[in-house]
Amino acid sequence: MITYDRLFIGGSWVEPSDPEPLDIAAPHDRSVIGRAAQARPADIDRAVAAARASFEAGEWRLTPPAERIAVLRRFNALREKNAERIADLISRENGSAAWFTRAGQAGLTRQAHAYLTAAETFAWEETPTPSDPATPVRSIVRREPVGVVAAVIPWNSPFSSATSKILPALLAGNSVILKVSPENSLSMGLLADLLEETGLPEGVISVLPADRETSEHLVSHREIDKIAFTGSTRAGRRIAAIAGEQLKRVSLELGGKSAALLLPDADIGKAVTGLKFGSLLNNGESCIAQTRILAPRARYEEVVAALKELVESLKVGDPADPDTFIGPMIRPDQQQRVRDYIRLGIEEGARLVTGGPDIPEGLENGNYVTPTVFADVDNSMRIAREEIFGPVLVVIPYDDEDDAVRIADDSEYGLSGGVWSADREHALAVARRLRTGTVTVNGASVAFDGPFGGFKASGIGREYGAVGLGTYTEYKTITV
């Protein structure tokens, strides 16, 4: 039993305003694996006051960038040292399969290195060449921290979401309140332990698990200068409204319903093997999952049969088992949501190729669903338009390349996507046509040095690399 009975506010563990901790249940069997204090509005007020005081005092804000980089390299080293412990805890807490949580730690190293490298070469202060060499006026352009940042993250990939926000925010010299989901109270408690060991100045960082009502209190707080949010599009719209009313800076990384385009010359075997990771990562609880599979009519049944074989070969079960590929949904209500979507797909007239709404045999005590593939799907169906957030794939036929691009873009979302072809240059040409924030070609992994984010209802702003770092800064121009 893991217990965090205090809250991490301003770099110290303090007594919560609500002394009653929350039980944390394992998605695998719903047993209680830990207890953790939950923040209430009074705790938010305390954290924001500490962040504001630290920012105004300037101890971290005025620290030279090279010194801030050194401190956060120390944090990343601590995370790498504890990588296995972090992965195991997330598997227990989230139900994410061990292969995914371990791969995620390697991804975090790449993500952190991209931010740290960007910070080393970032134009913190520069003197542009004047347009008129004869003028006696010179400009100094500085990039300074925004102020107090409210970073609000979802439950599905907690360490990745947390570091994608706190690293650039802290590198830029901001003070940060990281609001995490109650389900992640244990892994985010471990994150707080590592941050405490890192040795940031007092008040600079708080890590608070809290419910939605308390989260709204945070993002509505008048002392917050920027909101950085990852989560549902519905919640993103509410946050954008609050930010607009108060003229706060805001970045939103929201939902997705991404398409994988299998072009007629694609190697179907290789593509389907790649989609195992691109479409079903993290039990399907991933915003970037490519869950709409677009297949040419001439090879449609070949693609459907290959996906059926793949999905039926995947082991579903205990996320701690190294042979498990798909674990349980995080909560019973999420399990029910996914099963309801599977029933909806049947009602809409899609062909159930494999899977279905029944819970896998022998796993009835956990939050499990059966991985499912639908064929004969029209892009107007709800299972093709709405983010299910579970291991459910829909296979949609297309007539020609223009039709494939049209279907892929016929979505309110635009977060991710993929193109598969034997001709890489052709695949790149198709990728350039898609209106989505990230496109992978032939299963390439997402790069962390390039900007990540979405078009349309998938968000506002970008994360990762120098672009992501820049979103936590303000421009200041000094003329001399």
The residue annotated as part of the active site, out of 183, 285, 287, 387, is 287
**Could you tell me the end-to-end alpha-carbon distance of the chain, in angstroms, rounded to an integer?**
61
pLDDT at residue 447, as a whole number: 87
The verdict on whether 59 is a catalytic residue reads: no
CATH top class, domain 259-448: alpha beta
Tokens of 409: 């873009």
Tokens of 73: 């390299």
Question: What's the angle, vertex CA 168, arms to CA 167 and CA 174, rounded to 5?
Answer: 95
pLDDT at residue 213, as a whole number: 96
Task: Dump the DSSP string for 182-194.
Answer: GGGHHHHHHHHHH
Q: Is 332 exposed, middle or buried (0-12, 13-18, 19+ CB in 10 A)?
A: middle
Half-sphere exposure of 225 (CA within 13 A, CB side): 19
For the chain, where do the domains classified as CATH 3.40.309.10 start and end? 259-448
Fold designation for 2-254+457-479 = Aldehyde Dehydrogenase; Chain A, domain 1 (3.40.605)
The C-alpha atoms of residue 90 and residue 93 are separated, in whole angstroms, by 5
Task: Dump the DSSP string for 47-91.
Answer: HHHHHHHHHHHTTTTTS-HHHHHHHHHHHHHHHHHTHHHHHHHHH
Residue in 5, 24, 26, 27 with CA at minimum distance from that of residue 16: 5
pLDDT at residue 138, as a whole number: 87
The H-or-E segment that residue 407 falls in is helix 401-409
| Contact call for residues 415 and 81 (beta carbons, < 8 A) | no
Q: Which residues does the chain have with pLDDT short of 70?
A: none
For the chain, where do the domains classified as CATH 3.40.605.10 start and end? 2-254+457-479
Q: Is the dihedral of CA 206, 209, 212, 217 positive or negative?
A: negative
Half-sphere exposure of 208 (CA within 13 A, CB side): 33
The H-or-E segment that residue 334 falls in is helix 332-348
Q: Which residues contact 255 (CB under 8 A, 6 or more apart)?
A: 232, 233, 287, 387, 413, 415, 457, 458
Q: Is the dihedral of CA 158, 4, 217, 59 positive or negative?
A: negative
The residue annotated as part of the active site, out of 93, 183, 216, 253, is 253
pLDDT at residue 316, as a whole number: 98
DSSP 93: H
Tokens of 461: 């702003």
3-state helix, strand, coil in the chain (%, to 5): 45, 20, 35
| Contact call for residues 79 and 73 (beta carbons, < 8 A) | no
Task: Dump the DSSP string for 138-182.
Answer: -EEEEEEE-SEEEEE--SSSHHHHHHHHHHHHHHTT-EEEEEE-G
The verdict on whether 125 is a catalytic residue reads: no
Alpha carbon of residue 315 to chain centroid: 25
The C-alpha atoms of residue 208 and residue 177 are separated, in whole angstroms, by 7
User: Count H helices, E strands: the chain?
Assistant: 15, 21
